[in-house]
Amino acid sequence: MAKRFDLLIFDWDGTLLDSAGTIVASIQAACADIGWPVPSREAASHIIGLGLKEAVATLFPDMPEAEHPRLAERYRYHYLAQDETIPLFEGAAELIAELHGRGFLLAVATGKARRGLVRAFEHSGLGPYFHASRTADETFSKPHPAMLMELLDELMVGRERALMIGDTSHDLQMAQNAGMSALAAGYGAHPPESLHAYQPLAVCHRFEDLAAWLKTNA
């Protein structure tokens, strides 16, 4: 069967890595550490995928910018204490290897900082499969389309031949802003019912459903 897409762009946290719960707990612990109100699980989940500045501005619009580094430092403390043990979703490593073997170009567009993605690639062993990546400290944060447009330019792929795969409204809105198709991972940080509004090609409620969709339809 002819490929529908040449380039598959994955979000990382909540899409390939089962990390949403750890991120939420780390955000909540960091806020408690510096004496700011602890956000609800829903509020903390909503900012997953955003860059640091945008995430803090969403959670705490009145927080002085001078406080941002303290919050970031405490978040990193809590997250890094366990990031090596956070698992990929079952079947994720096999899916990425299979898609690579089938000749797809693979990329990552993530709200992580570059050093965080480097660690994630090392811990997961998936780094060699990806042809390019963009992080939130290198360009505009999601949902700005810059990450996707830069990846298209680097890999010389037209937007009609690329697919964004992510678990948050930020991912899907970024794809919309770039004029690109998207596939929703409805098992991640944002509830699946909130993802339909962005008109993804499908909302997959389990990782195995997402893997099956890609194998059959990409």
So what's the pLDDT on residue 122?
A: 95
5-34 residues labelled b (16+ CB within 10 A) or e (exposed): bbbbbbbbbbbbbbbbebbbebbbbbbebe
Residues 184 and 95 in one domain: yes
Our count of domains for the chain comes to: 2
Report the alpha-carbon angle 155-158-161, nearest 5: 100
Cα three-residue angle 79-182-111, rounded to 5 degrees: 25
What is the pTM (predicted TM-score) of this model? Answer: 0.93
- 89 pLDDT more than 90: yes
Domain CATH code at residue 63: 1.10.150
Q: What percent of the chain has pLDDT over 90?
A: 90
Domain co-membership, 25 together with 95? no
Which 8-state DSSP code applies to residue 50? S
Give pLDDT, residue 75: 93
Indicate whether 1 belongs to any domain: no
Mean pLDDT of 95-108: 98
Asked if residue 187 is part of any domain, the answer here is yes
Could you tell me the pLDDT band of residue 205, with boundaries at 50, 70 and 90? very high
Q: What is the per-residue pLDDT for 1? A: 61
Q: Do residues 145 and 92 both lie within one domain?
A: yes
Average pLDDT of the residues in 8-31: 96
- Within 10 angstroms of residue 127's Cβ, the number of other Cβ atoms is 14
138: containing domain: 7-18+86-217
On the question of pLDDT at 56 being above 80, the answer is yes
CATH of the domain at 90: 3.40.50.1000
The answer to whether residue 36 sits within a structural domain is yes
Backbone angles phi and psi of 24, in degrees to 5:
-60, -50
